[in-house]
Amino acid sequence: MRVWFLSAALALMCMAQNATAGTILIVGDSISAAFGLDTRLGWVSLLEQRLVQQGYDDKVVNASVSGDTSAGGLARLPALLAAHKPEVVILELGGNDGLRGQQPAQLKQNLASMIEASQKAGAKVLLLGMQLPPNYGARYTRAFAEVYSQLGSEKNVALVPFLLEGVGGHPELMQADGVHPAVGAQGKLLDNVWPALKPLL
């Protein structure tokens, strides 16, 4: 009888875990698309592995596109939300906006619209911040970085202030182009994301 109760309890625990399993949608650019790498070695694939290791059943949908901007992500988002009905949306966009010198105000507007659309669809949002090299000028780089902190506060969403913390500025962790993280940096990217993501699961 005791064995039966234990088996039943385990079955109920598994059912409860499966019932809470959901989809994590990642809308990003080349950093999340693992540009220049075997995608199986990118931080998103490492996230899938960590979820399994820690007993989560959540499915990861990586809708990242190399070269994408916040405007591109905004245009793609409605179809992605409709198709995948995610419980969590991770937004990793803005780097290409900055590299093209686009206005931080436009970046903020685009990301705000993506946050609002995700929340309206019932998803929790995690915003991954980006920073630019100092050669873009102090005023521009400051305004760019502030977009993420402002949105985190104004929209009450989880925030990683700088996805490349501990990676940017370290040549040994970057690919030859000096822009994209190398294989050795992918675990660090995941470690930067995980503490903010885990409470949302």
- Report the alpha-carbon distance of residue 121 to residue 42 in Å, rounded: 28
Of these residues, 30, 45, 64, 118, which one is catalytic?
A: 30
Look at residue 157 and give its three-state secondary structure: coil
Tokens of 171: 């040549």
Q: How far is CA 82 from CA 33, 107, 120, 149, in A?
A: 21, 23, 12, 28
Q: Determine how many CB atoms are found less than 10 A away from the CB of residue 178.
A: 10
> What does the alpha-carbon distance between residue 41 and residue 167 come to, in Å, rounded to a whole number?
16
From 113, 170, 177, 191, the catalytic residue = 177
Beta bridge partners of 12: none
Helix spans in the chain (H): 2-20, 43-53, 70-84, 95-99, 104-120, 138-154, 186-197
Rounded to the nearest angstrom, the gap between the alpha carbon of residue 117 and the centroid of all alpha carbons in its chain is 16
In the annotation, is 32 catalytic? no
Whether 30 is a known active-site residue: answer: yes
The CA angle 185-136-162, to the nearest 5 degrees, is: 35
Would residue 170 show up in a list of annotated catalytic residues for this protein? no
| Catalytic member of 45, 57, 180, 191 | 180
List residues with catalytic annotation.
30, 177, 180
